[in-house]
């Protein structure tokens, strides 16, 4: 067992957990038809909560927040002597969950991204896990949904027979979605970042050596500089500065944030 609860990283409670226990918790909730809010956060994801008190509240309501990026794993080890030897990377967690869901006959539902990405992702999942049941899929609306649309989406997912929902809307939209929908659908919902695009073959993943050394951000920045430069050039130094402040006990980042005043209905 390697689930040691959650530890504070810049005010975000991140799970000290490995792949085995993460998958086990997700599949247990799926079999019991219970909601479970899960996200895999790298530096950018942590910073979205560290800088926004309402989003910090959302993230801290999650049942599991895995250390998706190596710097987040390193931070857990540095600040809390967590002893983590590996991160729990969203795209890999996605495949491990799908593999176990296929073995147990638990259908999955895919929500987010574009229709062509979903089609390619489902094709590749079917090839990799022939017994995996895909209960349904729905692409993102790429806008806020109305209250009626939100109810329709939740009802569609419940009717599909899915037992696990994988959500790929990009950070922080996907975490907002999971926060708002998990209880409505009463199923485990996983915000898995760029997993859809990676596994559909739309984006290439960083080489293993870059992943091991926490340099995925550089690889992705080179791929999509216009879209990602603010995320990495501004937030990475801010993360390091805030981490130093927490390590030096200049601040404790104890503020849990504040409950969002209204729903966002991201879709």
- Cβ atoms of 90 and 112 closer than 8 Å: no
User: String of b and e for 32-63 (b: at least 16 CB within 10 Å)?
Assistant: eeebbbbbbbbbbbbbbbbebeebbbbbbebb
Q: Is residue 224 part of a domain?
A: no
Q: Is residue 64 part of a domain?
A: yes
Supply the DSSP symbol for 266: B
The pLDDT tens digits of the residues spanning 41-96 come to 999 999 999 999 999 999 999 999 999 999 999 999 999 999 999 999 999 999 99
Q: pTM for this one?
A: 0.92
Q: Is residue 107 part of a domain?
A: yes
Bridge partners of residue 8, in order along the sequence = 13
The pLDDT tens digits of the residues spanning 136-148 come to 999 998 888 888 9
Position 3 confidence tier, pLDDT thresholds 50, 70, 90: low
Q: Is residue 151 part of a domain?
A: yes
The pLDDT tens digits of the residues spanning 189-226 come to 999 978 999 899 888 788 888 888 888 888 888 888 88
- Mean of per-residue pLDDT scores for the chain: 93
Of 44, 261, 62, residue with least CA distance to 172: 44
pLDDT exceeds cutoff 80 at 159: yes
How confident is the model at residue 121, as a pLDDT?
Answer: 96
Q: How far is residue 182's CA from residue 34's CA, in Å, rounded to a whole number? A: 9
Q: Is residue 23 part of a domain?
A: yes
How confident is the model at residue 1, as a pLDDT?
Answer: 52
Q: Is residue 90 part of a domain?
A: yes
Domain that holds residue 189: 6-199
Q: Is residue 167 part of a domain?
A: yes
- Cβ atoms of 123 and 115 closer than 8 Å: no
- Number of folded domains that form the chain: 1
Q: Is residue 245 part of a domain?
A: no
What is the arithmetic mean of pLDDT over 27-47?
96
- Cβ atoms of 190 and 93 closer than 8 Å: yes
Bridge partners of residue 165, in order along the sequence = 109, 189
Q: Where on the phi/psi map is residue 38: left (φ > 0), alpha (ψ -120 to 50), or beta?
A: beta
Q: How far is residue 50's CA from residue 29's CA, in Å, rounded to a whole number? A: 28
Query: Would you report the helix, strand and coil content of the chain in percent, each value rounded to 5?
Result: 50, 15, 35
């Amino acid at each position: 067992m390697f689930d040691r609860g959650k530890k504070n990283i810049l005010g975000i409670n991140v799970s000290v957990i490995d792949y085995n226990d993460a998958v086990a918790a997700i599949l247990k909730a799926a079999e019991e038809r219970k909601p479970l809010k899960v996200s895999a956060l790298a530096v950018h994801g942590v910073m979205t909560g560290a800088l926004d008190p309402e989003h910090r509240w959302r993230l801290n309501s999650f049942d599991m927040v895995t250390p998706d990026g190596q710097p987040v794993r390193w931070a857990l080890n540095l600040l809390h002597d967590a002893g983590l030897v590996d991160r729990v990377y969203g795209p890999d967690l996605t495949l491990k969950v799908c593999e176990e869901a296929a073995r147990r006959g638990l259908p999955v539902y895919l929500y987010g991204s574009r229709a062509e990405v979903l089609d390619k992702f489902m094709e590749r999942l079917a090839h990799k896990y022939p017994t995996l049941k895909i209960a349904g899929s729905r692409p993102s609306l790429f806008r806020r949904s109305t209250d009626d649309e939100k109810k329709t989406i939740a009802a569609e997912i419940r009717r599909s027979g899915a037992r696990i929902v994988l959500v790929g809307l990009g950070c922080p939209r996907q975490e907002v979605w999971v926060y708002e929908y998990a209880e409505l659908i009463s199923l485990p919902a996983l915000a898995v970042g760029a997993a859809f695009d990676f596994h559909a073959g739309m984006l290439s993943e960083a080489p293993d050596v870059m992943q091991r050394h926490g340099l995925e951000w550089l690889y992705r920045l080179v791929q999509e500089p216009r879209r990602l430069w603010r995320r990495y050039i501004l937030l990475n130094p801010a993360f390091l500065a805030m981490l130093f402040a927490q390590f030096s006990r200049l601040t404790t980042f104890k503020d849990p944030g504040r409950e969002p005043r209204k729903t966002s209905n991201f879709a």
